[in-house]
Structure 1
Amino acid sequence: MTARPVQSLRVRLVLGLSLTICLVWSGVAIWQFTNMQRELRTLLDDRLIASARMVVGIVQQFQQAELAAAPRASNDALLSVIGRDGVACEVSLVRSEVDILPIARTNNIPDMASAGSAGFGQITKGGKQWRTYVLEDKGVRVATADRLDVRDQLVQTFVRTLVLPFALALAGVLLLTWWISTRSLRPLRYLREELARRPPHDPTPVHAGRDTVELAPLVDSLNGLLARMDAAIAHERRWTMDAAHELRTPLTAIKTHVQVAQLVLDQAGPPAQAGDALRQAQEGIGHMHATLEQLLQLARLESASAPGSAEGAQGEAIVQAFALAVRQSCQRAAHEGRVVPAVAVQVLPAPGEGPTPWAQAVLPLPPALLTGAVSNLLDNALRHHQGEGPVLATLQWAEDAAGAAVEIRVRDQGPGLSPAECAQAAQRFWRKTASGPGCGLGLTIVHRIAESVGGTLVLAPAHPGLEARLHLPLHPAG
């Protein structure tokens, strides 16, 4: 199944708002551009009309006979008038429909601008297009003109003045939207941080986000889920303990009766088959009893690993719990009638030999659970050990980038496990062979103990045998 890409609510919010703003502003800008372009052209045309009317009014104050007789003398006077507003202009006298005499012209107007009919027109001179307006009144014809490329430049300037503020405003909106969305989504970050800090078995309600209208239903649903999960886990623990207690009592009674029967048959000299059957029944009952004890220990462990459990092992209590586990494992092996191999115990650094770091640390695990974890590792090692060499049990102080830790290593010289079997060994009720010794819960309990304090249990082939490494992080004292 292909994993879906991670999506950001903040990015989607900013992009959505930016797209909406761009679409709205683009529509407004297009409407304004079209409207202003039309108004600008109308304004420039009105300017041509107003300039032409003004020039006609001024020219009519001169005597046309004088202008026609001496146009050059009057040219300078007219030029000083018609060139004031900067509009290209040409003044002509109309003698007949075909006889038009130019008497004054600005330098920036093309020739024959006054030719043609009155009103607006368009001519091309020198590769340039001109917008012209011709006004004729009482024998005076005035032509005003604008270059179309200059008009286009005015339109482009207007577009730049419209686009630049739009781009700057859009950039500002993007930054403000990103900042506002970051602050608005801060309750989500608080909720994530609270959940990240929460211990695995903490069922207390979540508080972050409850004061936010949009997050309050989500937080309420999450708290409801935590409450239901806690109730389900508590129910499972109670069921495990109740079942184990209910089964232990009749099994203890059956075991006692079998032992009495075995004693009576041994004294009366029974047939060998009856004695073997009773011994096998006693072994089966012992196996079931051990399984129930492990189930009870697992249930107690899950109850003890919840919030509010007992204080951890401090200082020398770590070393004492380790030594107690070694003694208990050897006593159990001897009580079961098995040959107990030698156990080589090593504590590094050894306590009592100068300053040691053991008194400066706290293991966030009750001493009883530490003893139980080491006992289960040693029980497995003693049960599967072969050869004359000792079982190695080491308690060592370790320090790395993550901080100080306790590392417990137990190594036997038995048949060992393959890497694939090592990965499965911590599963509940897993055994290498169905008829093998044990009940398949010891390593599960050790793994659960390590997991409850953020530690690890690693099983690795030792050639020969198996090495179990239990890594438990320490807290500084005080």
Structure 2
Amino acid sequence: MDDPQVKGAISLRRTAFIWLAGLMAIIGVCAATASYLLAKNEASDFLDNQLRQIARYIGDVPPSPVVDPDGGVPHDPEDDFVIQVWDASGHLLRQSHPSIDIRREPATGFANISTDTNNWRVYTLATPKRTVQVSQEMSVRQELATDAALQSALPVAVLIPLSLLTLSWIIDRIMTRLNRMAVAVASRDAASDDPVPIDDVPYEVIPFVSSINLLLARLRALLEQQRRFVSDAAHELRTPLSALQIQIDNLRHCDRDGRFAGRLAELEAGIGRATDLVSKLLRLARYDAREPAPTPGPIDLVQLAVDIVARLTPLAESRSIDLGLTSRHPAIAIGALADFEIILGNLVENAVLYTPLGGTVDVAVEVTGQEARIEVRDTGPGIQEDEIGRVFERFFRARPQEAEGSGLGLAIAKAAAERNNARLSLALREDRPGLIACLLVSLDFG
């Protein structure tokens, strides 16, 4: 999205995922660490108990070393226990590994002993008749305990990324409902003021949607009040304007020598402009009220363009403007003829009024695929680029404001186009100064 406000907005999905993912990661690391330490301690206790059990069940044998008791079964010699047995007088009765010399401990219990080559975990069982001592390398114990701890922590480490993927999928499912609601709201017509439905809205979002509906209701009331005011004011103005026109006609009959003809003409022109403004306000009020459009029917767009050009030719000739139809592709559309006359009439009249004396206004009807394109090209001063988006606003007049106008013509044309599912746009000419007004209409091929 190019909107800087959207770029700087906070993503609810990203925020929820970061916080929940961070929480799950912390919990997973703590659980894996605790599992690792507990499993390591448990393995160490198990190995200590193993030393104790071996010491208890060592029997008395002649004083000779045990050589290859496993019958050649492959194994790691480092994993062997070192067993030593002394008699009551301290003579060595048995030693499983003669090359390893581990000192005799005087009392029963565990001890950590270091020799020239290794560190040992030793359990000594001292009785009045003999002393049994079982030893195991610390590195072997560390390896066994670490392997057991890692195997215990491994499921937690594997479940963390799987949980994050599941969390992302769950958040996506939740946000999908919000996205559907956002799409439904964004796709609503600009003139639609119906409440936003809450059937498929999450419970926690209902207060927010209800607030939007409340604002829409207030907006609907304000717009309705504005429409009533414009309509009532326009109706009230029509009567005094008509009365003024009658009085001007009466004064003209009384002015037999023509002394006040010029002033009466100016006054009549002013009343004509006011009457035209009132008529436009009434028409705009009807569009705003969304009154049912006249029964749609087939419209010959070429004939419509010919009629509009013929009607405005006197105005163009009075300004020495070359007004003509440059393209006549046959095109039949379905819509309200009165609305299309208003649209095209406004476009051509504006082009004639804003084009300098001696300029050119070309009207073209072309067909592309399923659409007809009616273009009105003039050689006027055009519109400032920063004002093109505002020309359809009511009472807005783009610079330069050399021609007279009320600023309602394009707003009425836009409303009439929307009522007939047509699209109206303006663009600057690229080949020379001027403006291109374009009306796109879907064709009827029935």
TM bucket by the smaller chain? 0.7 to 0.9
Indicate the residue corresponding to 2:76 in structure 1. none
Instruction: Give the whole-Å Cα distance in 2 for the aligned partners of 1:463 and 1:105.
Output: 106
Indicate the residue corresponding to 2:336 in structure 1. 366
Match of 1:217 among 207, 211, 219: 207
Q: Contact 2:323–2:361 (CA<8 Å) still a contact in 1?
A: yes
Work out which of the two has the higher radius of gyration on C-alpha atoms and give 1 or 2: 1
Q: 1:61-80 counterparts in 2 under 5 A?
A: 67=62, 71-72=63-64, 75-76=65-66
Match of 1:474 among 417, 429, 442: 442
Q: Secondary structure at the match of 2:57?
A: helix
Indicate the residue corresponding to 1:197 in structure 2. 187
Q: Contact 2:245–2:268 (CA<8 Å) still a contact in 1?
A: yes
Q: Contact 2:108–2:123 (CA<8 Å) still a contact in 1?
A: yes
Which residue identity is paired with 2:229? W
Q: Are 2:374 and 1:397 aligned? A: no
Instruction: Give the whole-Å Cα distance in 2 for the aligned partners of 1:40 and 1:431.
Output: 85
Cα-Cα RMSD: 3.6
CA deviation map 1:416-473 (0-9, x unaligned): 3354586365442416466742333223333444566462321435887733322324
Q: Contact 1:88–1:109 (CA<8 Å) still a contact in 2?
A: no
Indicate the residue corresponding to 2:349 in structure 1. 379
Which residue identity is paired with 1:302? D
Q: Secondary structure at the match of 2:324?
A: strand
Quickly say closer, same or farther: Cα 1:222–1:454, change in 2 above 3 A: farther
Instruction: Give the whole-Å Cα distance in 2 for the aligned partners of 1:253 and 1:301.
Output: 27
Quickly say closer, same or farther: Cα 1:292–1:330, change in 2 above 3 A: farther
Q: 1:163-242 counterparts in 2 under 5 A?
A: 163-209=153-199, 212-242=202-232
Indicate the residue corresponding to 2:92 in structure 1. 102
Indicate the residue corresponding to 1:446 in structure 2. 413
Q: Secondary structure at the match of 1:134?
A: strand
Which residue identity is paired with 2:21? S
Quickly say closer, same or farther: Cα 1:327–1:28, change in 2 above 3 A: same
Q: Are 2:48 and 1:42 aligned? A: no
**Deviation at residue 152 of structure 1 after TM alignment:** 1.0
User: Unpaired runs of 5+ in structure 1?
Assistant: 352-357
Which residue identity is paired with 1:204? D
Q: Are 2:382 and 1:417 aligned? A: yes
Indicate the residue corresponding to 2:56 in structure 1. 53
Indicate the residue corresponding to 1:456 in structure 2. 424
Q: Contact 1:187–1:209 (CA<8 Å) still a contact in 2?
A: no
Q: TM-score, normalised by structure 2?
A: 0.82
Match of 2:20 among 6, 14, 17: 17
Q: Secondary structure at the match of 2:286?
A: helix
Indicate the residue corresponding to 1:128 in structure 2. 118
Q: Secondary structure at the match of 2:91?
A: strand
Instruction: Give the whole-Å Cα distance in 2 for the aligned partners of 1:197 and 1:54.
Output: 84
Quickly say closer, same or farther: Cα 1:8–1:388, change in 2 above 3 A: closer
Indicate the residue corresponding to 1:92 in structure 2. 86
User: Unpaired runs of 5+ in structure 2?
Assistant: 71-78
Which residue identity is paired with 1:408? I
Quickly say closer, same or farther: Cα 1:210–1:153, change in 2 above 3 A: same
**Deviation at residue 235 of structure 1 after TM alignment:** 2.4
Instruction: Give the whole-Å Cα distance in 2 for the aligned partners of 1:392 and 1:78.
Output: 110
Quickly say closer, same or farther: Cα 1:41–1:104, change in 2 above 3 A: same
Indicate the residue corresponding to 1:355 in structure 2. none
Q: TM-score, normalised by structure 1?
A: 0.77
Instruction: Give the whole-Å Cα distance in 2 for the aligned partners of 1:176 and 1:45.
Output: 42
Quick one: percent identity of the two aligned structures? 23
Which residue identity is paired with 2:382? L
Q: Secondary structure at the match of 1:214?
A: helix
**Deviation at residue 25 of structure 1 after TM alignment:** 4.2
Match of 2:265 among 275, 279, 282: 279
Q: Contact 2:81–2:134 (CA<8 Å) still a contact in 1?
A: yes
**Deviation at residue 111 of structure 1 after TM alignment:** 0.8
Which residue identity is paired with 1:240? V
Quickly say closer, same or farther: Cα 1:454–1:174, change in 2 above 3 A: farther
